[in-house]
Every structure is written in C-alpha cells, then in structure tokens.
Amino acid sequence: MKRLPLVLLSSLVALSGRAANPATGGRTFSLVSAKEERAIGESAAESVLKTYGLYKPEGRTARYVVDICQKIYAQTETASDPITCNFVDDGTFNASATPGYMIINRGLLPYMSSEAELAAVLGHEAGHLTGRHINQHATHARMASIGMLVLAGVVASQSDSPAATNAALAVGGTGAALGMAAYSRAHETEADALGRRYMERLGYDPRESVRMVRGMEMYGNYQDQVSRALNPANNNVPGLLSRLQSSHPATPERIAAAVKATGEPVPAVPDNDTAGRTRFMDAIQGLAFGPSIKYGVERRGELVLPRQRVVVPLPESVVTVHTPPAREGEMGNWIIGHPQSGTRMTVSAVKLTQGRSPASLLKEVLPMLNDGVQQMPVWAHGTAAYAHTATFRYMNSSKRFRIIALPAAHPVNEVLMFMISYPDEATQAREDAGLMTILKGMDYVSEERAKRYQPQVIYTFRAAAGDTVANRASKMPMNALREELFRALNSLQPGEEMVPGQWYKTIVDPNS
C-alpha cells in the first residue's frame, strides 16, 4: 500500500504531454488524446441535437448565423480543423463550444442588438476551442481523480483507519472541485480576449464586445426580476462557497476587463451602422421567441399546450417561464408565479401506464391523500369533463398545496399535472377558490386548431418620433414584466428611452 502514491504519480507522468498552443502562445499540459477530445465533442453535440434539433436550417436566420460562425472560426489559429456550426431550436439564452462544434441557441439572438455583438459571442466560443479549454477541463478532472487517490494512498499508508482515508477523499474532492471552478474563470477571461482578437480580424470593432457583455448584464438583471417574482419570499443570498464555485467571472468584472482592453464603444448612430445592426435586425425578423411550440406558448391570459391540445386560462399579472425537458419527447415544466400573493403553479406532463387513472396517479404520487381525491369539472367544447384534485400539507412546512391531474386530449396516455403551492394557510383560504374557478375554464382544442398555434416571434422596427418604451412594451403578449423584458431585449437602462431612427425589437403574438 505504501508504494501506491509513487505508482500513480509515475503513471501520470507517463501519460502526460505538453503541446504548444498557437492561440495562447503557451504550452498545454494534456492527459486527453485528440481522439478522446473529438469524441467528447461529438457526444455533446449529438445530445443537444437529439433534444432540441436544428432551427429551420434552410431559413434566413439559420443561414445568417452559421455563415458568421464559420467566418469567425476561419480567423482562428486552428482554422484548418473541421468545425460544425449548429443553430438549435432551444429558446434559452446560451451559446457553447465543444471540440469540433459551435452551438448557438435560438434564444441567444433576441438579446443581441448587432452583428458585431453576435460576432463577439461567437469569437468567445471559438476562443474556448482554440484555448483547448475542454481538453484542460478533462485533464484537470483526471488529475484531480489521481490526486485524490494519491492523497488517500498517503493517508492509508500512514494509518490503518478507513475513516481517515474517507476523510482524505472528501477533502480532496472539495479542493479539486473548487480548483476546477477557478480554472473555468480563467478560461472565460482567456476566451473573452481571444474572441476580441477573432472579431477584429474579421473586421468588427472589438469595442462592440463591451456592448455585448453589457447586454448580458441586462439579461441577467431581467432574469433576477423573474426569479424574485417566482420566489417572492426567498431572499437568500449565495454564500461564500457558491461564489467560489461559480464558473464565470462576475459580469461587472468582464465589462471592466473589456473596457480596459478596448475602450468604450462608439455610440450607435442610425446613419453610421458599422456594427451591422441593420443586417442583424433584418436576419432575426420573425424569429421564434421562447420555448419551441411543441412545449407550448404563453399568451395574454392563457397558456396553450398544443401537443396535449389543452388551453389553460391564467390569472392576471402572472410571471410564466418554461424549463426545458431533460429528454426528447418530454414537455419540461411551465412555472407560473403570482408575485402579489406568493402563489406558484408548476405544470408538467406525466405518462399513464395501462391500468392507471388520474385519480390513482395522484394517490401513487402522494400516498397520504388516501380518499381525499375529488373530481373537478372542467368545460371542454361546452361539455363537462373531469380532472381530479386534492389539497395537502407536506410534513411541517407552512406551505399548503393543491394538486390537479387532467387527462390530455392527446396523447391519450398522458396526464397534465398542476402542482399549486400557497405560502401559508391564510393565502390558500384567500386565493384557492378564485384560482380553481379560473382553472375550471381549461379547454380542449381540436387537432386542427392545435396545429395552427405558433410561437411568439421577434418583430424589429425603427423607432419613430413619439415612440416610448412603455407604449411598445404594453403591447407585448406576456402577462407581467413586459417593460422589464423590453429593456432587456434592447439593452435599455431604467428610464432610458428609444432614439428615433434606431433599430429596436419587440415580441408579438402571431396567434392574435
């Protein structure tokens, strides 16, 4: 046992290698072969495509995004390596890179305001590839694993106590995880710098990267507002450990670093479109906004679930978000919050196996219900149908809950589950009857009508004299936080107004 650390360290040296990195000018220590690296990329890209698929690959927006992606990568030091740019039908705000692939979510574009900002994001992702950050992550993980074994071996060689060995493993694991988080922050900083290099090589002003990061900050602020609306009673602040484990530097730090590297961006002027704002706005005109229509669409006063052919009426002033599914074929979750009362409802879909009913499903999920499940009439095409519902309290929580199971019109083996939480008994007593009255208006729709529903879409426009943020935002199809979203979409600070002649974007409902 005493020879174990030496054996492991010898193996580490034998497997390792240091290769020159033309992008960073340094040498990269690696325990991961090029073949393994490529396999990591292919597996990650395949998983994303299987879940979300490409967004209209022959459409104008997809061709535009893929073209810029390929042009950016052509400016890199590894331009001769093959690259695949995938524009995927994922409505969340993100772009990512994995060996051999750059993946751009549809949901990223609404929060960009010019071609140069998009180029800055794509340059950043290309920087992760040329910096070989995935390789370094994988190498660091292997080193951490070997290091923990070495630590455990050292402890075990000095002690016969299994507890001491387990403690060493635990401490080593925490240290390795924190080390990897810090490593990731360094990667993000390096990718920012490389991204500015690549966008400048392609002819864009690198100062536009400052505008891009500020747009990310605006998006983050909006998401904080959404989170507070969905969790009005939760004022928890992340602790020191959470901050240490953060994989990204704080956005203000990134803004400061970008300004230090490039200086402040030139103010956008309608007559001097060096950032490609007009081209970008033209390319995203009509782009779907929010989750894929197969998961549903929020409208004023209702949530439409076309796949299940159900329309759910919504109370006024609710905040609605969708969390993506873990696997293809699932709906994910719709989370609906009423900030004024603290009431929250989660809508999901559950498959029924043969012999199960909505009522029996509730009792399986919550055995404590016993005989407390009741029928709940809903009106479908003017004909009474039935859901099943029950109220309950979970252990010693002050919260009160109601659960509803509604058979979907399609597929026939699927049930919609509504989990409603009230912050306390008094709120339930005050709000439950009214909410139940609203939900009893749930309706089934025909297959033909369900197929006609479309997602919300981006509408780009030049501001006219007299246009105001409040007026434009008030027409958006969301049920709450309309002005906050409009400002996030257009990187407008609180109180800032639109400039006549400049490009902006809003959200419209094509189903109206």
Q: What is the pLDDT of residues 435-490, one digit of tens each?
A: 999 998 998 889 999 999 999 999 999 999 999 999 999 999 999 999 999 999 99
pLDDT, tens digit, for every residue of 108-144? 999 999 999 999 999 999 999 998 877 666 656 655 5
Residues 416-427: what's their mean pLDDT?
94
Residues 79-99: what's their mean pLDDT?
95
Structure-block tokens of residue 108 = 């990223």
CA distance 154 to 390: 57
Structure-block tokens of residue 131 = 């910096």
Are 481 and 267 within 8 A, CB to CB?
Answer: no
Are 80 and 62 within 8 A, CB to CB?
Answer: no
Amino acid at 143: M
Question: What SS3 class is residue 452?
Answer: helix
pLDDT at 388 over 60: yes
Burial class (CB in 10 A: 0-12, 13-18, 19+), 245: middle
Amino acid at 311: V
* pTM of structure: 0.85
Share above pLDDT 90 across residues of the chain, in percent, rounded to a whole number: 60
Going from the N-terminus, what domains does the chain have, and what CATH number goes with each?
4-229+240-255 (no CATH), 297-452 (3.40.1000.10)
pLDDT at 402 over 90: yes
Mention every residue, 6+ apart, whose C-beta is less than 8 A from residue 424.
398, 399, 400
Structure-block tokens of residue 4 = 């174990």
Q: Compute the mean pLDDT over every residue in the chain, rounded to the nearest whole number.
A: 84
Are 442 and 487 within 8 A, CB to CB?
Answer: no
Mention every residue, 6+ apart, whose C-beta is less than 8 A from residue 85.
65, 66, 69, 70, 73, 101, 102, 104
Place of tokens 């800032």: 496
Long-range Cβ pairs for the range 228-231 (8 Å, 24+): 228/339, 229/319, 229/337, 229/339, 229/480, 229/481, 230/319, 230/321, 230/335, 230/337, 230/339, 230/344, 231/337, 231/344
What are the phi and psi torsion angles at 481 (to 5°)?
Answer: 55, 35
Q: Which residue has the higher pLDDT, 4 or 268?
A: 268
